[in-house]
Amino acid sequence: MSLSLRHSCHRLRTVRCWCRLGGLLICLAAALALPALASTRKIILDTDPGSDDAMALMLALNSPELDVRAITVVPGNVTAQQGLENALRMVSLANRCDIPVAAGAQHPLFQKLITAEFWHGKNGLANVELPPSKCKVDSRYGPDLIIQMVHAAPHEITLVPVGPLTNIALAVLKDPSIVPLVKEVILMGGSISGGNVNAAAEANIYNDPEAAQIVFQAGWPLTMVGLDVGDKTLISRKQLAELGRTHGPVNDFIYLVVKYLVELSEKYGSSGSPMYDPLAVGVAIDATLVTAPAMHVDVETRGEFTRGETVANRHGFVERNVLQGDRYVIEELDPVVPNAKVCVDVQADRFLQLFVSRIQGK
């Protein structure tokens, strides 16, 4: 083999070696970056803003673990129209006009809407008047936007409903094929330890029990962040003081919301305000904040005293009764298939610290 040919082969081998090394380095760099990319959870927030919804939204927008792909508005705390206006003003305040904000249902599936200005203030945002929005509403219908985004990113989207489940139910009814394509549903709603609107029912479920039953029975991975943990996670004057020491548009807005909620809770004898919706976002950020055993949950839609109750089977079976003469006897224990992870305990202080630091921009 001539010298020049041998020299060329050597150079070729050298080039190939560098390419392999270069490729290896690129792969290594990508592998190092992957955990950070992989940990970013894409979410769609379905909300009835709402003062605690406002805290949930701002937590989501200020948490690097989450990528808020869209906001869909559902009637609940306020009317659909007021909720849409509130959502648009909040994304504008946060300079996030890039996030689609879409209107959804205008009323629950079958019952009249029950709004909660009593708890959330006349405008639903603790009577805080935000500047008019710079952002424009997305023309898509909320349930359709959910369907479209789930198909566009199969197995990647987490739905985070923090209001009545009307939009989520409408999306499932319109296109059941989204159920196996949704990564997870992490919802604020329900309770296995009594209600907040009455003895049995939690507000989001109570405002559309039929929608809730559709969502709980759909068959997707579902985490229920209910009153059981929200009532253990109270924001108080301690966190208010911390938020008062820092400043910025979002910080100052949430300070006023928290001030309103803490004063309202004190008026009704509590030391703090439950972080219902923000905690659902917290679970999307870090599921280790809660303890959530699997249970089968049904939603009562007919009970005189219990319509809207989330009825959870803690033991995992149902006694099978068979008729013997003039009575029934228990023949067997029939297992029930869990359909939800039900949050029963929470690291409240750790979540509150997370919330405050994120709103402070730390």
Q: Which residues bind Ca ion (CB under 5 A)?
A: 48, 50, 53, 162-163, 277
User: What is the token pair recorded at 327?
Assistant: 């009575």
188 binds ligand RIB (CB under 6 A): yes
C-beta of 276: minimal distance to Ca ion in Å?
7
195 binds ligand RIB (CB under 6 A): no
347 binds ligand RIB (CB under 6 A): no
C-beta of 47: minimal distance to ligand RIB in Å?
8
Which of 169, 171, 206 lies closest to 190 in space, CA to CA? 206
Hey, is 91 helix, strand or coil?
helix
What are the residues whose beta carbons fall under 8 Å from the beta carbon of 331, sequence distance 6 or more? 320, 321, 322
What distance lies between CA 109 and its chain's CA centroid? 21
* Residue 203 touches which member of Ca ion, ligand RIB, none, C-beta under 5-8 Å by kind: ligand RIB
351 binds ligand RIB (CB under 6 A): no
Q: Which residues sit opposite 132 in a β-bridge? A: none
* Residue 196 touches which member of Ca ion, ligand RIB, none, C-beta under 5-8 Å by kind: ligand RIB
CA atoms within 13 Å, Cβ hemisphere of 103: 14
Site string for ligand RIB, 201-230 (x = CB under 6 A): -xxx--------------------------
233 binds ligand RIB (CB under 6 A): no
C-beta of 143: minimal distance to ligand RIB in Å?
18
260 binds ligand RIB (CB under 6 A): no
165 binds ligand RIB (CB under 6 A): no
Report d(CA 173, CA 165) in Å as an integer: 12
Report d(CA 171, CA 149) in Å as an integer: 11
162 binds ligand RIB (CB under 6 A): yes
CB nearer Ca ion, residue 60 or residue 296: 60
User: For tokens 């910025």, what's the residue?
Assistant: 248
Comparing every residue's Cβ against ligand RIB, the nearest one is 203
52 binds ligand RIB (CB under 6 A): yes
Report d(CA 254, CA 260) in Å as an integer: 10
User: What is the token pair recorded at 184?
Assistant: 């997870």
Q: Which of 48, 208, 231, 300 binds ligand RIB (CB under 6 A)?
A: 48
Q: Which of 276, 283, 346, 352 binds ligand RIB (CB under 6 A)?
A: 276
Q: Torsions phi, psi of 269, nearest 5?
A: 85, 15
Q: Which residues sit opposite 184 in a β-bridge? A: 158
Report d(CA 73, CA 82) in Å as an integer: 10
C-beta of 272: minimal distance to ligand RIB in Å?
15
C-beta of 231: minimal distance to ligand RIB in Å?
10
Q: Which of 75, 76, 100, 308 binds ligand RIB (CB under 6 A)?
A: 76
63 binds ligand RIB (CB under 6 A): no
Site size for ligand RIB (CB under 6 A):
15
User: For tokens 């008062």, what's the residue?
Assistant: 244
Secondary structure (H, E, C), 313-357: ECCCEEEEEEEECCEEEEEEEEECCCCEEECCEECHHHHHHHHHH
C-beta of 47: minimal distance to Ca ion in Å?
6
CB nearer ligand RIB, residue 19 or residue 90: 90
In sequence order, what DSSP letters do the residues of 187-210 get, joined into one string?
A: EE---SS--SSSSS--HHHHT-HH
Interface residue list for ligand RIB (CB under 6 A): 48, 50, 52-53, 76-77, 162-163, 188, 196, 202-204, 276-277
